[in-house]
A and B are shown apart, each in its own frame.
Chain A
Amino acid sequence: MSESKSAPHPHLPGGTGTGPAGGAALTPTTPARDPAAEAAALAALEAQEARLAEVDLLAPAAPPAPAAPAVPAAPASGVPAPVAPQISGGTKMAPLGKPLARPPVVAFDKVTKTYGTGRSAFTAIKDVSFAIEDYPGRGEFVSILGPSGCGKSTVIRLIAGLLPQFPQTSGSVLVDGKPIRGPGPDRGMVFQDYTSFDNRSVLENIAFGLECRGVPAAERLDRARSWIAKVGLSIKKDADKYPHELSGGMRQRVAIARTLILEPRIILMDEPFGALDPPTRTRMQDNLVELWREQSPTIFFITHSIEEAVFLGDHILLFSNSPGTVLKTIRVPPPDRPSIEMQRDPKFQAVVSEIRDTIDKLESSNRAGD
């Protein structure tokens, strides 16, 4: 689990940039062409950071400094200076420490994607900048929230390296400080549409990635079998079923297992629970949190549901409508209880309402500006 992994990582010297989107970490990624442009980029980042602080929901409505101690510290956290006070006590998730002195896991810098040219040109996202830092021992859970058609999928597909969103028209997208060349198993993806290979059984679907890597049949099927259980399916009953015999929730469980078995560093989820009924959805959320704790990848999770975003995320990227851009970056406490329980908590609901108000305010001011 996360504690064991967290120890050996070096931390950022001097304790700079406790929040994400640390300007210092991003600057080297901008090719030093035009000093003026570089300065502008920096200014934009700083502005973003300032806004970030403004909507820091970590300590909602709490008295200034001594608020945090009211909450018992995370039981087994070897990580110094928890950034995120919990909504309530008893967390299982290690709080984020200081980001590592490494390039961010994912860094967008003034990324714009335009399709077509001239009059028919359409800009899906414009000047999107954010950075998701590399934290010791555990990846961040980033919820991407925004109206339909605001370019959320464009962001995720750019990270995945999938055409035609990839490559961006301008700006830089860096994963671990390196530009993306195309899709790869280090960035797993779970789509909203059901993508189980219809000609393969559940077991063969989950083993697909290992099969591509050349893992021998017996071994990969064994490992796939253990993943069937991990995502809450029955080894006995479901292993040999074909996708057409599965419900939507089961298909998404297969898709999650198929992605996680490869232990990707980044997992991209494009509204994976969007088509599921509410009870299935909350169960899937709990399952996802459990798996996230075990593997600690960095997860990008697109959703329309504010509740889902707040429950799952450490971090919410709030997108505006077309052309899509990051309106705000909001920090929220990580999940510490099952979804249903947590969503009943008045404090949780307060956070959700606050974000809803923020969205309403931003949208109305956006419309006024049109």
Chain B
Amino acid sequence: MASTSEPAVPRPPPWWRTLRADPPVEIRVAIGAGLVAFIVMIWWLMTRGDAITAVISPSKLPSPGAVVRSIGSLGDHLAEGIFATLERVLLGVVLAAIVGVVLGVFAGTNRAIGSAVAPLVIFLRSIPMGALLPLMLMLFATGEKQKVMFIFFAIVPFVFSDTVKAVSLVPERYVETAQTLGASNRQILGKVLVPLALPDIVTSLRFQFGLALGYVMLAEAIATTSGLGVMLNNNERLGNIEQNYALLFIIALLAFGIDFVIRFFQRGVFQWRRDL
């Protein structure tokens, strides 16, 4: 207890009684890991025993151990599948980035172009992704081109809109400043608008990359020989449910990893933006 002779320095309220205060990092990690451990434990309890004694049948939910063991049996197929899938996603996203960003920058600075492209963009944005697939099959048959074009059409309207928005949101005062410093319209575009909008454009591409990974699974479900989507479908047909659970975890980790890497570079390149 504090002695009465010393004047008491007030103590700050603890984090659990302070609104929006972060707990210490150890506690945050412990809470997160604790919940995961809890879920895995429930999972393990529910799937304990054989096909007859387990609460949930192994044909619906195999035990954690069985899922982990099945990763080994994926073997070389796994690396091949990841490579094939990522190649498609990357091609589609790069294509969409080139077209979407270039068009978006022009539409963001020249509103006439923006008005001209608006109906087409609204149309493309409003189509459910899955509805595009049959048309893509008819146009590009079942090769690589079909899958890349599917990703391209699925994300290019969003890349475009986000680019227009990023360019529009650069505050007008920067444009005015550049004008009073003698910059021409072309210089304002190249030296002010694009550099200042770029971090947000990259953020948009990062999100779209994540979504594209989802779309490609859909495309790979049809008449494809390699890729993560193919592996998922084959496992379904063969009844390898353990492998499917394992693949889902791997895909989630992959998506998270890619996002993390892009964001790491984004933060390095755009150090002047502290909110990325």
Contacts and interface: CB of A to CB of B under 8 A. Distances in A.
A213 B270 CA distance: 26
B172 to A, nearest CB: 9
Interface in A203-228: 208-209, 211-213
Contacts of B270: 199
Interface residues of B, number: 21
A161 to B, nearest CB: 8
A311 B77 CA distance: 79
Contacts of A187: 180
Nearest to A208: B181
A195 interface: yes
Interface stretch (B6-14, B62-70, B182-190, B211-219): B182-190
Interface residues on A, range: 20 to 34
B185 to A, nearest CB: 11
B274 interface: yes
A259 interface: yes
A275 B50 CA distance: 73
B236 interface: no
A128 to B, nearest CB: 21
B196 A209 contact: no
Interface string B148-187: 0000000000000000000000000110111111111001
Interface string A155-181: 000001010000000000000000000
Contacts of B274: 244
Nearest to B182: A185
A253 to B, nearest CB: 15
Contacts of A255: 177
Given A211-B191, A242-B272, A197 B196 contact: yes
A200 B3 CA distance: 56
Contact of B180 (A189, A197, A198): A189
B181 A244 contact: no
B184 A198 contact: no
Interface in A136-163: 160, 162
A258 B271 CA distance: 22
Contact of A189 (B174, B176, B272): B176
Contacts of A324: none
A259 B177 CA distance: 9
Nearest to B275: A244
B179 A197 contact: no
B178 A208 contact: yes
Chain B, interface SS category: helix
Given A212-B187, A212-B191, A197 B182 contact: no
B192 interface: yes
B174 A197 contact: yes
Interface string B228-263: 000000000000000000000000000000000000
Contact of A199 (B178, B187, B195): B195
Nearest to B274: A244
Contacts of B272: 198-199, 242-244
B191 A208 contact: yes
B111 interface: no
B179 A183 contact: yes
B272 to A, nearest CB: 4
B28 interface: no
Contacts of A268: 180
B174 to A, nearest CB: 6
Given A242-B272, A243-B272, A244-B272, A197 B183 contact: no
A162 B176 contact: yes
Contacts of B176: 160, 162, 183, 189, 191, 195
A191 B177 contact: yes
Nearest to B187: A212
A212 B173 contact: no
A212 B188 CA distance: 9
B205 to A, nearest CB: 18
B196 A184 contact: no
B181 A185 contact: yes
A360 interface: no
Given A199-B196, A243-B272, A188 B180 contact: yes
Contacts of A162: 176, 179-180
Contacts of B182: 184-185, 209, 212-213, 262
A193 interface: yes
Contacts of B174: 195, 197
B179 A212 contact: no
A209 B191 CA distance: 11
B181 A188 contact: yes
Contacts of B191: 208, 211-212
Contact of A259 (B181, B184, B195, B196): B181
A212 B181 contact: yes
Given A193-B173, A199-B196, A209 B273 contact: no
Interface in A9-57: none
A212 B184 contact: yes
Most buried by A among B195, B272, B274: B272
A339 to B, nearest CB: 26
Nearest to A186: B182
A160 B176 CA distance: 9
Interface of B: 173-174, 176-184, 187, 191-192, 195-196, 270-274
Given A182-B179, A209-B181, 7 more contacts: A185-B180, A195-B173, A195-B177, A212-B181, A212-B191, A244-B274, A259-B181
23 contacts: A160-B180, A183-B179, A185-B182, A187-B180, A188-B181, A189-B176, A189-B177, A191-B173, A195-B176, A197-B174, A197-B195, A198-B196, A198-B272, A199-B272, A208-B181, A209-B182, A211-B191, A212-B182, A212-B183, A212-B187, A255-B177, A259-B180, A262-B181
